[in-house]
Amino acid sequence: MLQVRDGAGEMLGVLFDRYQTPLFNFYSKLTGDRTLSEDLVQEVFLRILKYRQSYRPGTPFRAWVYQIARNARIDHFRKFPRERAFEPEMLPPVVPTDSAQEHQEAELLHRALLQLPEDKREILLLCRFQELKYEEIAKLLGCELNTVRTRIHRALQELRKSFHQLTEATLKQANAAAPENLPPRGGRHEV
């Protein structure tokens, strides 16, 4: 009996090791909430255990997992509606530093992503980070392949705009805060 129990644990453990980080990142980038993301990852594995009979062999396993992941999140927010939507304004301002430009860009991009409407954010995450093919995403979202392409394009357009605005705002702030760092302009040449 114990052997049976340990055996099943070991096997689901293999799947857990493989998928927990990608799933966690999917949720955390989607919701911006680490604790909730961890809860949802647990829920996904419970559902894998419960509904494993519903997996049809021969279909992509990854897509099946993300189907479960989407449903888990939808069910969660149905049960516990959000009191208020996530507002990026709640985050502390990004402090520009030359030494960590890449870090700063990542931070701004993360915020730009969080500013997107959820459906746009989700589709970008699915194709960029979860490495799902467009056909798989179309099936997952229940829409046409061309619709997926259009949505990705629109999401990316919007992301670019937000990112652009955020970058400009940060630059302005930096210039206002440190005018002494600006190069001198129109200085007189004295001979």
Partner 1 sequence: MKCEQISELLPDYLQGGLSPDQHHTVEAHLQQCVDCSEEVAVWRKLSLLPVEQPSPMSRVRFEAMLQAYQAGRSNEPASGPSWKKRPSSWNFFHWLRSPFGAAAWSAALLVIGVFAGFRMAGPKPLSPDIAEIQKELASTKQLVVLSMLQQQSASARLEGVSWSTREQQLNPQVLSALLHTLRYDPSVDVRLAALDALSRHSTQPQVRNSVVNALQEQQSPLVQVALIDQLVEWHDREAKPHLEKLRQSQDLNPAVRQRADWAISKLN
Q: Which residue lies nearer to partner 1 by CB, 35 or 181? A: 35
Q: Which DSSP letter does residue 32 get?
A: S
Q: Give the helix, strand, coil percentages of the chain, each rounded to 5.
A: 75, 0, 25
**Cα separation, 124 vs 126, whole angstroms:** 5
| Residue with Cβ nearer partner 1 (55 or 174) | 55
In this structure, what token pair is assigned to residue 88?
């990026």
List of residues contacting partner 1 (CB under 8 A): 1, 4-5, 7-9, 11-16, 18, 20-21, 24-25, 28-29, 34, 37-38, 41-42, 45-46, 48-50, 52-53, 55, 57-58, 60-61, 102, 105-106, 109-110, 113, 124, 127-129, 133-134, 148-149, 152-153, 156-157, 159-160, 163-164
Considering the complex, what minimum distance in angstroms separates the CB of residue 139 from partner 1?
Answer: 16
Residue number, 131 or 178, with CB nearest to partner 1: 131
| In the complex, minimum distance from the CB of residue 180 to partner 1, in angstroms, rounded to a whole number | 30
Q: Considering beta carbons, is residue 34 or 172 the nearer one to partner 1?
A: 34
Smallest distance, partner 1 to C-beta of residue 97, A? 15
Alpha helices in 178-189 (DSSP H): none
Helix (H) or strand (E) holding 11: helix 2-31
Q: Find out whether 21 and 45 touch, Cβ atoms under 8 Å.
A: no
Instruction: Return the CA Rg of the chain.
Output: 22
